[in-house]
Each structure stands twice: as C-alpha cells, then as structure tokens.
Amino acid sequence: MTDLYAVVGNPISHSKSPLIHRLFAEQTQQDMAYEAICIDTDDTTFAWAMADLRHRGYKGVNVTVPFKLDAFEYATQLTARAQTAQAVNTLLFNADGTSLGDNTDGVGLVNDIELNAKRLFKEQSVLILGAGGAVQGVLEPILNKQPGLVHIANRTDSRANALMQRFNTPTTLSASGWDDIPAHPFDIIINGTSASLEGKIPPITDQVIGKNSLVYDMMYGQQPTVFMDWAKRAQPTCQALDGLGMLVGQAAEAFYVWRGVRPNMTEVIAEVRAQMAKTSTP
Ligand code: ATR
C-alpha cells in the first residue's frame, strides 16, 4: 500500500515540498505519496488536525510556518536537535499513537554548505545574522562542526546575547547588535533574518565579506536575493548561495527519518530550480 505523507502549514499552496519529495520517491523507488495540506486554526487545532491525518493513515508530516512550535508541543518524543531548536519541522507517526518530533532544518543547512558547496565549517570564522526561530534551529548543528569562531548579530542585540548564552561550546562564541560586528572578513556569512522577505538587507558593514567568503541567504527565490546581490557587489569573487539547497537538505533528512534512505540532493536541487524558472516565465 502507498504510504502517505504531507507538509502542513498556512499558507501552503506555494510549498516546494510536494515536488521535492516526489522527486526523492522516484529517485529511491519508494511507494509513497506526499501532498500539501493547509491547516486553518479557525476550524480546528493542530492536535486535532494531526489526529485526523493519523486516522486517515498518514505516516508522518513536515511542519512549516506557523506550526513548528505546535508540532514541538504535540510530539510525544523529541530528538536532541529538536529539543535544542525548540521547534519541530518533521513528525513521524508511530503505530502505537506516539509521535517522534525532529528538526532537520539545521542539518539541511550544514549539508548544503558542506556537501553541496563543499565548504567545511571546521576552524572557519562564521558570522550569523539574526537570532529568531530560523537561526535557533541551525546554531547547534553548525557548532557541532567545530568552527573556529561564531559571531551572532541581530537587530535586537539582547536576543543575540540570550541565544549565545544557551550554548556551551569550545568554539569562540560572541554576540552583538549590527553596529558592533567585528569589522573583518568572515569565512562564512549566513543571513537568517527575515529582512529579505521585505527586500531589505541588514545594515551591516560590507567589510565582513572577504574575497573567498561564502555568503549564504536562508531565503531563496527565482532570482538571487537582495542579500546575495549586496555581497557580490561588495566582493565580486565571493561565493553567494540562496537557501534552496537548505530546503532540499531538510527535506532529504526528513525523508531519511521516515524511509531510512538518504536521497541524492544535487539532481533534485537542479530540477526544483529548473521548475521555478519555468513558472516564472509569463
Ligand atoms: P524566523 O522564524 O523567520 O527566524 P523570527 O523568529 O520572527 O522568524 O525572527 C526573525 C529574525 O529576523 C529576527 O532575528 C529579527 O530581528 P529581531 O530579533 O530584532 O526582531 C530579524 N528581522 C526581521 N525583520 C528584520 C529587518 N527588517 N531587518 C533586520 N532584521 C530583521
């Protein structure tokens, strides 16, 4: 029998997850179906929506905005990385009524940078912009890769400080507002703010970008993001990437949680990018 999975969120119609998981299933020859389901909390609660899906035979779901915290509270067991992130993006429904909550966002980012872009974090200097939910989910997987130093900068500096204090790590960890970022080039710069959504760039000095820096925006789109454009203008030789590989990476890890098989990301990233280009043509 075909196993059923879904991504749940609100809004959800633009989600790339059904395409990504269909490509994974074809590639690894898994008998499964995956769809996007919008949950309207005017009509139901997250827990009721999950009970309904389980009743209909679903084996697991991906969870996106705005339900990652609800999923964290719903799960009866949590992986260590979900516990640190305090958010769940993947639920595995067990037959006995329990559910495992996991967070694969951080691994998705780390794998995209290490496996796809072939830049290792070990001993590198890393600048992370933002201190919200997105950054909270990726910090521990980055620290596990033993970078030399990590600086977290955020518009609200107290949030960056609070996040820093949650970690006990051999990596040199510091935090500040925009104005106190050390003005030297960092090896890896990651934008985890939601400023790109508004087409804005955090107001930071471009001295943080070096000739060989990897500049990564967790956002993605049909065109390079404003943050990538800004970085390339400051240092034309830097490498600038958007977050599509992170999206595919988190999906690949969720697929592994459900199916025990790790799909190949490279061809799926290329295919999703190609489909995005097609849909942008008027
Ligand atoms: P997410 O889950 O996307 O991380 P979030 O938890 O609301 O959402 O966090 C949004 C992040 O983007 C925060 O770091 C926020 O900064 P504040 O903590 O100061 O609010 C940052 N952010 C949002 N809009 C921004 C803007 N226009 N310029 C700079 N930073 C912005």
- Catalytic, 68? Answer yes
d(CA 149, CA 126): 6
pTM to 2 decimal places: 0.94
**Given pLDDT bands bounded at 50, 70 and 90, which one contains residue 279?**
confident
pLDDT for 238-261, tens place per residue? 999 999 999 999 999 999 999 999
Tell how far the Cα of 78 is from the centroid of ligand 1, in angstroms: 26
Is the pLDDT at 99 greater than 80? The verdict is yes
Tell how far CA 105 is from the center of its chain. 4
pLDDT for 206-222, tens place per residue? 999 999 999 999 999 89
Report the residue among 89, 135, 158, 194 best suited for mutation to probe ligand 1: largest number of ligand atoms under 8 A from its CB.
194
Tell how far the Cα of 194 is from the centroid of ligand 1, in angstroms: 5
Tell how far the Cα of 156 is from the centroid of ligand 1, in angstroms: 9
Residue with the two structure tokens 């990538």: 228
Domain 3-103 has CATH 3.30.1360.170: no
189 Cβ neighbours under 8 A, 6+ residues apart = 126, 127, 129, 208, 209, 213, 214, 215, 216, 231
High-pLDDT (> 70) share of the chain, %:
99
Q: What's 106-244's CATH class?
A: alpha beta
Q: Which is the closest atom of ligand 1 to the Cα of 134?
A: 4
Tell how far the Cα of 219 is from the centroid of ligand 1, in angstroms: 12
DSSP secondary structure letter of residue 16: S
**Given pLDDT bands bounded at 50, 70 and 90, which one contains residue 281?**
low
The reply to whether 3-103 and 106-244 are identical in fold is yes
Residue nearest to atom 14 of ligand 1 (CA): 130
Q: Which is the closest atom of ligand 1 to the Cα of 65?
A: 2
Domain boundaries, the chain: 3-103, 106-244
Question: Could you say which of 68, 145, 200, 211 is catalytic?
Answer: 68
Continuous H helices in 148-240: 157-164, 226-234
pLDDT for 29-83, tens place per residue? 999 999 999 999 999 999 999 999 999 999 999 999 999 999 999 999 999 999 9
Whether the CB of 182 sits within 6 Å of ligand 1:
no
Is the pLDDT at 198 greater than 90? The verdict is no
pLDDT for 155-171, tens place per residue? 999 999 999 999 989 99
3-state secondary structure of 87: coil
